[in-house]
Structure 1
């Protein structure tokens, strides 16, 4: 039996987890607004070359009760954290996140892109990882790519290389979705060429309390391309009652 409850405990903290090559600035607009309403922190997915290693490092330092919102690598890490501490994670927002392990061809393609990082050519890696079409509006591409490059350069090639290895080595996370009873918002830009709609639909089907949201007018970076829409989605997720079984 499923029981819907509204928590009467103090508001839970919100933890944002950026994608590989990105910093807290990926969520800057949403952090500014939501930090006025609840405790907000950012956990960078660093400190290991496997998602499991990063989760082991991070978990002791995270709030005892929290909502997790992550993009890409950050979303995969959020799923791993929820698996390890389901009593601490109240809800999940997964942006442009894949629960599938990389296929051999996908891993080989990533290895090719990692060559630029080994040569410390961060701008070249960014262009290969996120082609121009990853940003939906042509007029916004120059400014947003400058922002993304600034974030990547702040992290540095060694850190991004370790993050890329974590993505390359990630295990299949479909079981995590099946077992997760917490509310989940599965989010992607409607014009994101890097996210398969079929895979997003599979994710929504797997998780008992998941809902798919496609953000119109956004590509792979909806928090930057459609910040107000994303803020509204996050507030909606945070307001949802918990579902207990």
Structure 2
């Protein structure tokens, strides 16, 4: 089960799953229609999943994946945390999110899309016109209402760091080296706390590794599954 991030849909994972080259059946969770709660999203994911499965979460999807580990760790065979963290939202991040929500309320969603494209992508990839177009189209397709619901859920999310030492399944911690939202200290925090963590850092990659670098992300996920 693969879980998308903020303002992302199944397209954020599609190229990576093509590169994954693994016979296991895959599903992409829908995080667009659930209530304003990471916990509710985790419950919805669990209700629509097999009894036992491997779980990979990107960004917001990582918050959901960690909430799944709080609720049903016995159902997860392997965990992958991609461009995400286990912390609650800090005041600076909440302030930035509230400012973006105000833009949405003023019917200025396109400005939010421009901000997030610049934040999510590695600096060198911001000039990759096809990549920027795919990302912006996905964000517009997901839309301002979903964005507002997801941001409220992210702002209210719990600190899941106390859970990390008890997660005993094999865990991939994968980051883009140029992820502007998760600095090295945040990444290392996950690696140090998770008993069976494998760390992978992709050079030239920002906050959306599955979209920016699907071949390397797929290769890492293949190793994780096998």
TM range (shorter): over 0.9
Q: Which runs of 5+ in 1 are unaligned?
A: 1-14, 240-245
By how many angstroms is 1:81 displaced? 0.9
- Tell me which residue corresponds to 2:217: 230
- Tell me which residue corresponds to 2:43: 56
- Tell me which residue corresponds to 2:191: 204
- Tell me which residue corresponds to 1:22: 8
By how many angstroms is 1:177 displaced? 1.4
- Tell me which residue corresponds to 1:44: 30
Q: Secondary structure at the match of 2:78?
A: strand
- TM-score, normalised to structure 1, is 0.85
- Tell me which residue corresponds to 2:109: 122
- TM-score, normalised to structure 2, is 0.92
By how many angstroms is 1:36 displaced? 5.7
Q: In the superposition, relative to structure 1, how do residues 105 and 190 fare at CA in structure 2: closer, same or farther (>3 Å)?
A: closer
Pick from 157, 165, 171: which aligns with 1:178?
165
Distance 1:134 1:33 in 2: 20
User: What is the CA deviation profile of residues 48-95 of structure 1, one whole-angstrom value per residue up to 9, with x for unaligned ones?
Assistant: 211011112221111211111111100110111122111211111111
User: What is the CA deviation profile of residues 11-65 of structure 1, one whole-angstrom value per residue up to 9, with x for unaligned ones?
Assistant: xxxx110001001110111223447611100002230211011112221111211
Q: Secondary structure at the match of 1:170?
A: coil
Q: In the superposition, relative to structure 1, how do residues 183 and 228 fare at CA in structure 2: closer, same or farther (>3 Å)?
A: same
Instruction: Please tell me whether Structure 1 or Structure 2 has the larger radius of gyration of its CA atoms.
Output: 1
Q: Which runs of 5+ in 2 are unaligned?
A: none
- Tell me which residue corresponds to 2:131: 144
Greater fraction of residues in helix: 2
